[in-house]
Structure 1
Amino acid sequence: MELITWAILGVTIALSIAWYLSYSAARLDRLHAKVEGALSALDANLVRRAEASLELANSGTLDPASALLLAAAASEALERETEHALPDDLLDGQNFAGREAVESDLTEAIIAIVTPEAMARIVAEDGTAADELDRLLAAGRRVQFARNFHAQAVRDVARVRNKRVVRWFRLAGYADLPTSVEFDDAVPGER
């Protein structure tokens, strides 16, 4: 073969490798963006669940002790969310720690208060409280979906980052490996 043929072959191989590395880096970037979006969706759904819990607590259909317990747990979850919403504390998947315990506490309060008997009583008593209960249950299901979607996105990023080519060429740069968010997200009637 001539020198020009070897040169063309070498350039073609180099361009193919460069394209593959560029494609892999762009894919990893998209996966990281997917994790960020999933975490933002989870955060929004957690806020909706806390707001729905607070509305149910303030509806007047629950006994005072249950309403106080539910309102306290929902208020704590909303306050913790506000702490993490500061501009200099961006939601990056690493600072969710601390909220997990609060969100689990809210779930426990919801499960303890919104029993099947309480749900039947709320539905039978008042139409607006029944709407608030439906909103709370729907918000709880959305939290489950959002947390599962986030966990899947984190697994996808970890799978791609474990590839040799990504590690060898440091295609992830200095981005932290995202972590999944673990807390109790059960909905009344599931346990």
Structure 2
Amino acid sequence: MATWIVVGVVAALLVIGWAYHTANRLDRLNVRVDLARQALESTLDRRSVVVRAVAAEMIAGAPDGGYRKSDDDEVAVSARALMTLADRAERAAPSDREDAENALSAALARTDSRRRSPALVVELADAETRVMMARRFYNDAVRDTRALAQRRPVRWLRLGGHASPPEYFEIIERVTPGQAD
């Protein structure tokens, strides 16, 4: 009889220890998701700043004398659209950010990258690379958090609380001129 009590107490302690460890791990994963989201948003904001610089350069004209006079109106309209989309993307609510960023990426892909200054080409490529990396880190954190939170024992014991699981962030990755066709 005493043996069964000891076995029961040990089993209960093991379950409590596992639950405590899992709840702490889930909490750390949620913190990781929050930090990755902040990093993603800051890289997206940086890209918006670079896109505004691209648009300003389009309005001012390319460094080599750039655009023909007949292109001026079309280029100015495209540049204003880029600025508007960059502003919209930066100010978008978290639930609308994906759509705003996709619209910005599509508009940017429609511009002629050959007419940009070399410094802006490098800056934009760096910003887009950082966005891709930050998005992948964020989505990895979301995947790990969701995988742990969706395990049956974790759900049964409500170790994740009542919060909804984090959502993935899916945007268009860098579009090169060959891919845009």
Band the TM-score falls in, shorter-chain normalisation: 0.7 to 0.9
CA shift, 1:82, in A, is: 3.0
* Cα distance in 2 for residues equivalent to 1:140 and 1:20: 41
- Aligned residue number for residue 78 of structure 1: 87
Q: Is 2:140 aligned against 1:142? A: no
One-letter identity of the residue aligned with 1:165: P
Alpha-carbon distance in 2 for matches of 1:164, 1:99: 32
Structure 2 gap segments, 5+ residues each: none
The match for 1:131 is: 119
Pick closer, same or farther for the CA change 1:68–1:140 going to 2, 3 Å.
farther
Report the equivalent of 1:38. 36
Residue-by-residue CA offset, 1:93-151 (whole Å, 9 max, x unaligned): xxx22222211111111111144xx1xx43xxxxxx32122111110111111112211
Equivalent residue letter for 2:133: F
SS of the residue 2:47 aligns to: helix
From 54, 57, 75, give the equivalent of 1:66.
Answer: 75
Shift of 1:49: 0.7
Amino acid at match of 2:127: A
How high is the TM-score relative to the length of structure 1? 0.76
- In the TM superposition, residue 83 of structure 1 has moved relative to its aligned partner by 5.1
CA contact (8 A) 1:35 1:153 kept: yes
**Quick one: distance in 2 between partners of 1:108 and 1:58?**
18
User: Equivalent residue of 1:58, what SS?
Assistant: helix
Contact 2:92 2:100 in 1 (8 A): no
Note if contact 2:29-2:145 (Cα within 8 Å) is conserved in structure 1.
yes
Percent identity, please: 31
Q: Is contact 1:158–1:177 with CA below 8 Å preserved after alignment?
A: yes
RMSD of equivalent CA atoms: 2.2
Q: CA deviation at 1:18?
A: 1.2
State how far apart, in whole Å, the 1-side matches of 2:45 and 2:120 are. Answer: 15
Number of residue-to-residue matches in the alignment: 168
Q: Which amino acid letter does the alignment assign opposite residue 161 of structure 2?
A: G
- Please name the residue that 1:26 is paired with: 24
**Do the aligned partners of residues 38 and 67 (structure 1) sit closer, same or farther apart at CA in structure 2, a change above 3 Å counting?**
farther
The one-letter amino acid paired with 1:46 is: L
Whole-Å separation in 2 of the counterparts to 1:190 and 1:178: 34
Q: 1:80 to 1:21 in 2, by over 3 A?
A: same
